[in-house]
């Protein structure tokens, strides 16, 4: 793959809670310079991204219910509508994880259906974040069926902030794994695309998940990944 093809797989993530306004602007400028597929920003940063990316092929993606998915449906729906009105081209929404783990899949389905309808009015792809660190394989499979029934554009592994408490009391987050991506590809309808996100730091990570069937990867390590792609490309010439 060329460096440009790799860049067009990337959603450049600017979602860390401590990012400053300056860092968000710098991240958007990097996204524009590298011509990634999209820049993923918090809702209040849409206007900044819109200003910096004007005339650029880089899409603006906003998150909804991020990172824990706990807002009521009406709040998530309003957040979606406001983000689209502000200039977002795509939406990444976190499911209600507690409802999914409770087996309340109809709740999850109806929430996603309402949000997906709002996105379809502006032809905005909806990416549904499962937060796989918290889920059993059976729960992932069930959510794949929900996503298929609602006919969303993408399913997505993780927020990157799904830290699970370990027996020793510490917290860790696996993020995107080969196992979960394979499970999602096997159990979602073939036209639903997959976004791997969480812990993707290297070019080899990007290539691995692309080979497994991912159409997008979410990462904040965009510059390092594309620098490595350039170095490898130069060596092959």
Strands 90-94 and 59-64: parallel
Q: What is the pTM of this model?
A: 0.96
Residue 195 CB neighbours (<10 A): 29
**Cα(146)–Cα(140) distance, rounded to whole angstroms?**
10
Average pLDDT, the chain: 97
Domains of the chain as residue ranges with CATH:
3-236 (3.20.20.70)
Q: Could you list the beta-strand ranges (E) of the chain.
A: 10-14, 38-41, 59-64, 90-94, 126-129, 154-156, 164-165, 171-172, 193-197, 216-219
pLDDT at 172: 87
| 126 touches 119 (CB < 8 A) | yes
Q: Name the residue among 236, 191, 195, 19 with its Cα closest to residue 90.
A: 195
**Tens-digit pLDDT profile for residues 185-219:** 999 999 999 999 999 999 999 999 999 999 999 99
- Which sequence positions are flagged as catalytic? 92, 156, 195
pLDDT at 31: 98
pLDDT at 49: 98
Backbone angles phi, psi at 191, to 5 degrees: -85, -10
**In the predicted model, is pLDDT for residue 68 greater than 70?**
yes
Assign 235 a pLDDT band (cuts: 50, 70, 90): confident
Assign 237 a pLDDT band (cuts: 50, 70, 90): low
> For residues 79, 84, 90 and 92, what is the CA-based torsion angle, rounded to 10 degrees?
0
**Cα(65)–Cα(71) distance, rounded to whole angstroms?**
6
Kindly report the CA angle at 202 between 153 and 30, in degrees rounded to 5?
70
**Tens-digit pLDDT profile for residues 102-161:** 999 999 999 999 999 999 999 999 999 999 999 999 999 999 999 999 999 999 999 999
């Amino acid at each position: 793959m060329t460096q440009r093809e790799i860049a067009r797989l990337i959603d450049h993530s600017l979602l860390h809670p401590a990012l400053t306004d300056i860092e968000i602007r710098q991240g958007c400028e990097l996204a524009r310079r590298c011509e990634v597929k999209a820049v993923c920003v918090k809702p209040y940063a849409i206007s900044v991204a819109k200003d910096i990316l004007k005339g650029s092929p880089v899409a603006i993606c906003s998150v909804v219910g991020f990172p824990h998915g706990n807002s009521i449906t009406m709040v998530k729906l309003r957040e979606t509508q406001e983000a689209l009105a502000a200039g977002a081209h795509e939406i990444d929404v976190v499911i209600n994880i507690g409802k999914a783990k409770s087996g309340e899949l109809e709740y999850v389905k109806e929430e996603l259906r309402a949000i997906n309808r709002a996105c379809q009015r502006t032809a905005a792809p909806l990416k549904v974040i499962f937060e796989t660190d918290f889920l059993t394989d059976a729960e992932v499979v069930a959510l794949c069926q929900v996503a298929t029934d609602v006919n969303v554009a993408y399913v997505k592994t993780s927020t990157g902030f799904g830290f699970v408490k370990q027996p020793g009391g510490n917290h860790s987050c696996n993020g995107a794994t080969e196992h979960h991506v394979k499970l999602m590809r096997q159990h979602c309808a073939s036209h639903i695309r997959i976004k791997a996100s969480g812990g993707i730091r290297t070019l080899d990570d990007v290539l691995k998940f692309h080979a497994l069937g991912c159409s997008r990867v979410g990462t904040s390590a965009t510059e390092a990944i594309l620098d490595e792609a350039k170095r490898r490309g130069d060596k092959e010439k």
